[in-house]
Amino acid sequence: MVLLVVVLLVSLAAGSKATSVPDVVTALRGQGDVHLQAVVESRIPRTVLGLVVGGALAVAGVIIQGITRNPLGEPGLLGVNVGAAASIVTATGFLGLSAGSATVWTALPGGLLAVLVVYLVGGHRSGGSVVPLVLAGAVVSAFLGAYIQAVTLTLPEVFDGYRYWVVGSLAGRDLSAVVEILPFVAVGTVVAVALAPGLNSLALGESTAVALGTRTGRVRAVGIGAATVLASAATAAVGPVAFVGLAVPHVVRSLVGSDHRWTLPYSLVLGGVLLVAADVVGRVVARPQEIAVGVVTAFVGAPFLLLAVRRMRAGT
């Protein structure tokens, strides 16, 4: 939480115009230079949005890794992100929607449909094995990725809007984007926390979980639904942002262990910290221009993941 507060203050201070943290605190109190207050207020929406989106992606990553028992699991593993992107491309190309004005209701149908197809193809009668589920996710993701390329290359006006949205960026968003996705993120997070005991049982193996009385099918279905809502809301708000859902659960497990009652809330906080920190880096390194947060997350997240893997190996 201390790290979170520090990152939020730095995010409000960083930008094309450098501002000190004491000046930020003064501006938040409604004191000091009026122009400085306006600059700080303009940075609040992207900071809050980064916090919410990063937490949503991290919690979705914990759920997917817990359900599939795959350390490389993330929402994209089951086609959630590419399904949401395909839904937005369809609305942009055939319904006249601008990619920059994509809403949760635009992205959610594609994410849900992609996951439903993956579950029906690979998980419906898999006998508890997660391998068919993962393979089905890869096939659906490849198909939808080809569909997105076909639409964007065929319709230049779709490509012009989509190429800015697809890199993932917090720039140009206001608090209305936060208000729109916050109910979805809140519901998805509450469901995830409620599933923590079931996810702990799944971590012990299919047969052990069943012996403990866990309804594994229900846990998987509800967990996949929660992860889909979280990832689709995040994707609609800022575009596809990779690596957060993959790296953050590893870092958290290296700190607090594998108990999902701890990993879920810690991931919620650390996911927001990571995404806001990546946004700060993107604003600073190319000043006065900026690099989209979706580009920076790979560079910021990779060292975290490598550190987590090394610590996990040291503990075995």
Tens-digit pLDDT string for the chain (316 aa): 899 999 998 888 887 777 777 878 787 777 777 777 777 787 888 899 999 999 999 999 999 888 887 777 788 777 888 888 888 888 888 877 765 556 777 888 888 898 888 878 876 555 555 677 778 888 888 999 999 989 888 888 777 777 777 778 888 778 888 888 999 999 999 999 999 999 989 888 878 888 888 888 888 889 988 998 998 888 888 888 878 888 889 889 888 988 999 999 999 999 999 999 999 888 888 777 888 888 888 776 666 666 656 665 665 5
User: What is the CATH superfamily name and number for domain 2-315?
Assistant: ABC transporter involved in vitamin B12 uptake, BtuC (1.10.3470.10)
Q: How far apart are CA 277 and CA 50, in angstroms?
A: 9
A 10 A CB-CB count for 157 gives 13
pLDDT, position 171: 81
Tell me how far apart the alpha carbons of residues 180 and 60 are, in angstroms, rounded to a whole number. Answer: 18
Dihedral (CA of 86, 91, 93, 94) sign = positive
The tokens of 62 are what?
């914990």
Q: How many residues appear in the chain?
A: 316
If you search the block for the tokens 């003064």, which residue do you land on? 26
Per-residue pLDDT, 305: 63
For the CA atoms of 143, 224, 252, 81, the dihedral, rounded to the nearest 10 degrees, stands at 30
Q: Return d(Cα 123, Cα 279) in angstroms, integer.
A: 37
Tokens 């866990």 correspond to: 214
Pick from 90, 91, 88, 63: nearest CA to 77: 63
> What is the pLDDT, as a whole number, of residue 309?
61
How many C-beta atoms surround the C-beta of residue 313 within 10 A? 8
The pLDDT, as a whole number, for residue 104 is 76
User: pTM score, two decimals?
Assistant: 0.86
Q: State the virtual CA torsion across 153, 232, 99, 136 in degrees, nearest 10.
A: 10
Round to whole Å and give the CA distance between 90 and 86.
Answer: 6
Q: In the block, which residue shows the tokens 């028992």?
A: 69
Please give the Cα distance from 226 to 203 (Å, whole number): 18
Q: Which two tokens stand for residue 103?
A: 């809403």
Q: How many helices (H) and strands (E) does the chain have?
A: 14, 0
For CA atoms 19, 22, 28, 31, the dihedral sign is negative
